[in-house]
Amino acid sequence: MNDGSATKGNRLRPSLLGFPLAVATLTLIAWQLLRILLWVRFAPAGISFFDSLHFLGSSAFADVAFALLGTSILIGVSSLLASLLSLPTLVLFPFGIRVWTPSWRILFRIAVTVGFIIGIFLLISEWYFFAEFESRFNTVAIDYLIYPHEVFTNLKESYPLPLIGASCLLGGIGLSLLVFRCWPPAWNETPRTTRFASATAWLILSVGAATLTQVTGKPLSRQRVIGELGANGWASALKASWSRNLSYPDFYPVIDRAEAFRRVRNLLAEPGVQFISPPVPDLSPPLPSSANPETDTWLDAARDSLRRRIPGDTNKPRLNLCIITEESLGSEFWGSLGRTRDGKPDTLTPRMDAVATREGLLFTHLLANGNRTIRGLEAIYSSFPPLPGDSILARDRTENVETIARVLKRDGYSTLFLYAGHGTFDYIRSYSLRNGWDRLVEESDFQNPAFRTAWGVSDEDLLQRGILEMRALHDAGKPFFTSFMTVSNHRPFTYPKGRIPEDPDARQRDHAVKYADWSLGDFFDRARTQPFWTNTIFVVIADHGARVYGSQTIPLKSYQIPCVVVAPALFQSSRRIDVDGSQIDIAPTVLGMIGRPYESLFFGHDLLASGANERTRCLMHHNRSVAVYRRQQQVVLGLNKSVEYWSGEPASGSMSRLAAPDPSALSLRDDGIALFQAADELYTARRFSIPSPPVHP
């Protein structure tokens, strides 16, 4: 075939716009077919045929814009690669051998074919991603690109990669043959200036259209799943990448800065708690430069206005603390939290149900602060609100932030973090070792583990190593704080054989949950025989639920998580704690159980203190939205300063959106705005930490 020339067999002669228009049109058709398939599979029930047609038609603008942009990228990158790879052929030009143009055309065609293969792979990936998260590409997809080893191993063990790879390869080659055969590029048929002007106009048009969809685009429905179905995957990925570190006051609702800190101070007040400094003064002018010394002084005063001395008894023993953070262990799996099957009581966690009902405090109304591990870690260990964009674990100003490890180190504790995976994943090494933990045990520290998953060593390896580490810390004669992060309950849901009756080769989520429960039960059986058992507080809590599902912007039913506390030195009988709370309340609660005085900048409350239900505000995050929940009311704060109001019982999964909020919802909105705004201000200014030495009045 004579690439790029008009031949007798070609249906169409080469034209300036034929090739890019063909690529854009095929892309648009593929995206529309994907949307139809997603709509048929995942759209909520009860939507009429005509509403479905209207929805599918209304979703096309973003697809058109990004099809044009994608074509620009494909042709531009392919041309650049072909030019760079063809440069060596120019050395033959002085000898009369002209191979630049033929080689460029061959390399361009190869690059375009590779682009088609990648495009098909992304199309298939969107299907699987939506099936897992009921979402177009979002921050999760962007973040996972950073960790190719773990993600590729996970994909290899979870999906039919050979079949997918073959489909992408054959499909990409077939599309390339079709496009180059029927709409060959016009290499030399038009003047160079005309080609350059046309390419520039195309690029400006596509970038402008894509930008317009990002700036002005709004969800087509108030239901989250319908809105995700209507979104374009590339647009969603671009938005996730672009808004990772948003300027909070530019994109989300705010109030006067001083008023925000004063409101948060009132929300954090508790009986017996002493604030170290007076309320923050007004700032005039309202928004001076961040480099202004006056601003620095005001920010110090703002931080100190939230610093509190939590009362306690210095004569109380320093009880050890062990917090086990379990991967994806939502409340939906626990029989002790109401799981049913076919209308009958059921459980996937019999061993932890037994611990909770025999000897533990079981928190029944606890919500996760996000749907990612790093959201759970920042909430549990830093008692910090989940800001839009990245978790503080992944941001660049986390070298000195408050953690429960810092609090306990100030009281003479040894601290240890045990993680089943690589410490670089989710920034766990940098977060832990810079913020109060003496040591990190990670996957590379395990010699000959019983089993490895795609994400690290198995739960039993991690927890059994923890027993040995805690025994050594106990023998050293100092109180200790150990924290764990497991990985087994994660796709591809693999675990060692023989622990539970179910076959691990089936790779089912329910089986992985049963294995996680078995490992926890084994841990408690071993811990009861250890000398540190009687003077240690044990906490088991999920990092987040299994997955996000539901029609709300932030569906609270899927955010419900378990938390069990076992403390032989404090109680031997079980009790259910029905106070509304979230993960940011865990650190203040367990520190309250230890009962020693400490200083705090934490945003959570002690859930066991009198009147806790009056004070708690549950904070949460999903994609680019954040929310505050209290007493069956939820307020969601979104991009472009949007506000949504919801009402209903989280466990029901049927919360409804309110068109006209009542005074209590408006008050909750202002509480949420103040909490997120103050948290962003403290973090951005590197002031979410207690100065050393502590300042006393």
Going by C-beta distance under 8 Å and a sequence separation of 6 or more, which residues neighbour residue 89? 99, 100, 103
Q: Is 335:550 a contact under the CB 8 Å cutoff?
A: no
Residue 451 — φ and ψ, nearest 5°? -165, 145
For residue 303, is pLDDT > 50?
A: yes
Give the C-alpha separation, 370 to 544, whole Å: 6
Could you tell me which of 545, 551, 533, 685 has the C-alpha nearest to residue 620? 545
Flag the least confident range among 27-31, 287-291, 376-380: 287-291
346-363 burial: b if 16+ Cβ within 10 Å, else e: ebbbebbbbbbeebbbbb
Domains of the chain in sequence order: 18-242 (no CATH), 313-616 (3.40.720.10)
pLDDT of the residue at 68 = 83
Helical pair 161-182 and 18-42, crossing angle rounded to 10 deg: 140
Candidate ranges 154-168, 350-364, 616-630; pick with highest mean pLDDT: 350-364
Give the C-alpha separation, 20 to 31, whole Å: 17
Query: By percentage, how much of the chain surpasses pLDDT 90?
Result: 59
For residue 479, is pLDDT > 90?
A: yes
| Residue whose token pair is 């001076």 | 288
* Identity of residue 425: F
Q: How confident is the model at residue 8 (pLDDT cuts 50, 70, 90)?
A: very low
pLDDT (tens digit per residue) in 223-261: 677 778 878 888 787 777 665 666 788 789 999 999 999
Could you tell me which of 549, 560, 43 has the C-alpha nearest to residue 337? 560
State the DSSP code for 526. H
Q: How high does pLDDT run on average in the chain?
A: 87
For residue 221, is pLDDT > 90?
A: no
pLDDT (tens digit per residue) in 438-453: 999 999 999 999 999 9
pLDDT (tens digit per residue) in 529-558: 999 999 999 999 999 998 777 778 888 989
What is the pTM assigned to this prediction? 0.78
Does 64 or 410 have the greater pLDDT score?
Answer: 410
Task: Give all strands (DSSP E) within 330-479, no chain letters.
Answer: 340-341, 344-345, 361-367, 414-419, 439-441
Q: How confident is the model at residue 517 (pLDDT cuts 50, 70, 90)?
A: very high
Give the C-alpha separation, 263 to 600, whole Å: 17
pLDDT (tens digit per residue) in 131-174: 877 788 876 677 666 556 556 666 677 778 888 889 999 999 99
* Identity of residue 595: G
Burial of 249 (0-12, 13-18, 19+ CB in 10 A): middle
Calculate mean pLDDT across residues 631-659. 89
DSSP, residue by residue, 85-151 = HHGGGGGGGGGT---HHHHHHHHHHHHHHHHHHHHHHHHHHHHHHHHHHSSSS-HHHHHHTT-HHHH
Does 568 or 659 have the greater pLDDT score?
Answer: 568
For residue 644, is pLDDT > 50?
A: yes
